[in-house]
Amino acid sequence: MKTQTTNILEVTGTVLNIQRYCSHDGPGTRTNVFIKGCSLRCKWCGNPESIRLKPEVSYDPQKCDGKKCSICLKAPFPEGGFYFAEGDDSKVKVNWQLASRVSSEIASLCPTGALEMFGKTMNVGEVLDEVEKDSSIYRNTGGGMTISGGEVMLQPDFAAALLEEAHNRGINTAVETACNAPWSFLEKVLPHVDTMLHDLKLMNSERHKKWTGVGNERILANFKKAYETFPDIDFIARTPLIPGVNADEEHIRAVLEFIKPHKNVIDYELLPYHRFGLGKYESLGVVYELDDYKTPSDEVVKRFQVMIDEAFGRNK
Ligand code: SF4
């Protein structure tokens, strides 16, 4: 007969990667477990490989041997998924619609690593065994495990089981979420959370829809309900700060007005926009739409930080 603990260990989900020694996603030094699947389409997304729920193939032309190899032009690769452009057989081109059928077994036939998979199925036991390797670091720094995405709430059973098992092993837990999911999903996950980092990207619903693909009504309602239903969670609000999108006083004030009545929202962090994820767009055959947008200046970030510190009574 299986015990309840055994059942938790066997719950599976799609993991993008596990990153050790992280210091920005919750208290202390942490291990971040990135899981796949997102219900937003933020135009600035730095992790496009986390958007789809299932594992997917990526292609790095720098590593491709072209005609010398040609393995992906034959079965078991999907017919027409990979081909040479006329007059150039130095690198393959990709028909992304057909290439999406490539499994991890098939991708592994590429001898140079030009074809790789983003994401793999793992169970809770496998993930926690990896996370637990740094238990002594968590104890010394007050750290633990953070589940990030993608959107954590889109794999609610897996996320809840990961967090519950982390608590079973004495590991502090955090999630990084935008909460664009049904409340019934959040209800499964939040009882096992110590810290919730949550994005307030845009407070105006129409603008939120323009930049992320969906309005923010459900998201804001979920945040409010979470603050009220789970008083013991430390909530930390965050804004990815992008000039021309939300790097303005109006947005910062609106966020502060939203969070300040709730005493368990313990901080508000700014995440200045960066362009680190751009190479990944090409390797997935996706167009990056925010080409002309810049990182906010230090001066702008400092000005907003002063507003936040004042609101949290830190400017005395
Ligand atoms: S199998 Fe890999 S290295 Fe060979 S042609 Fe295809 S992508 Fe290039």
- The protein residue whose alpha carbon is closest to atom 1 in ligand 1 is 110
Question: Residues 65-83: what's their mean pLDDT?
Answer: 96
CATH topology of domain 56-118: Alpha-Beta Plaits (3.30.70)
Average pLDDT over every residue of 216-239: 98
186-191 mean pLDDT:
98
CA dist., res. 118 & res. 58, Å (int): 7
- Band (2; pLDDT cuts 50, 70, 90): very low
* Closest ligand 1 atom to 59 CA: 7
Q: Which of 198-202, 266-270, 286-290 has the lowest mean pLDDT?
A: 286-290
**6 pLDDT higher than 70:** no
Pocket test for ligand 1, best of 112, 116, 117, 283 (most atoms within 8 A of CB): 112
Q: Using one digit for the tens of pLDDT, what is the confidence trace for 86-102?
A: 999 999 999 999 999 99
Q: Which of 20, 99, 94, 17 is nearest to 56 (CA)?
A: 99
The best mutation among 73, 74, 115, 117 to test binding of ligand 1, ranked by most ligand atoms within 8 Å of the C-beta, falls on: 115
The per-residue pLDDT for 277 is 64
Which of 59, 60, 62, 65 to mutate to test ligand 1, by most ligand atoms within 8 A of the CB atom? 65
Residue nearest to atom 3 of ligand 1 (CA): 64
Q: What is the CA radius of gyration of the chain?
A: 21
CA of 113 to the centre of ligand 1 (A): 8
Domain regions of the chain by residue span:
4-52+120-311, 56-118
Give phi and psi for 75, each to the nearest 5. -60, 145
| Residue 274's pLDDT band (cuts 50, 70, 90) | confident
Residues 6+ apart with CB under 8 A from 306: 315
The minimum-distance atom of ligand 1 relative to the CA of 73 is 6
Amino acid at 7: N
The per-residue pLDDT for 1 is 45
The CA-atom distances, in angstroms, between 91 and each of 98, 105, 279, 284, 285 are 18, 22, 17, 16, 15
Q: Report the pocket of ligand 1 as residue ranges, CB < 6 Å.
A: 64-66, 69-72, 82, 92, 110, 112, 114-115
What does the pLDDT average to over 127-137? Answer: 97
The architecture in CATH of the region 4-52+120-311 reads: Alpha-Beta Barrel (3.20)
Q: What is the pLDDT of residue 283?
A: 75
pLDDT of residue 275: 67
Burial 67-93 (b: 16+ CB within 10 A, else e): eeeeebeeeebbeebbeeeeeeeebbe
Name the residue at shortest CA distance from atom 8 of ligand 1.
64
Tens of pLDDT, residues 101-110: 999 999 999 9
Average pLDDT score, the chain = 92
Share of the chain above pLDDT 70, in %: 95
